[in-house]
Amino acid sequence: LEEGGAEVVELELHDGSELAGRTWSEVGLPGNSVLAAIVRGQHASVPSPDTVLKPGDRLVIVTEIANEPALRGLCLGQASSVA
């Protein structure tokens, strides 16, 4: 993936994240980013549009390397928007 400028990142949603409490269909990720899975507790699943994101969820995202800082900000509650 790195040769193509992409990577897989796993980021945990924090309480202050603007993504927490929103459905997957409401979330805007940076361009060329795909949410591959959500890990909640010991269970991993592919999100449906009506999946509600919760603090503590771990998001597995395939993205361009340059998008990682913006994604981290969204998950930690340190960015206003990337869509």
Cα dihedral 44, 36, 66, 72, rounded to 10, equals: -30
pLDDT one-digit tens code per residue, 25-73? 898 888 889 999 999 999 999 999 999 999 999 999 999 999 999 998 8
pLDDT of residue 61: 94
pLDDT at 81 over 80: no
pLDDT one-digit tens code per residue, 13-29? 988 888 999 998 898 88
Q: What is the pTM of this model?
A: 0.83
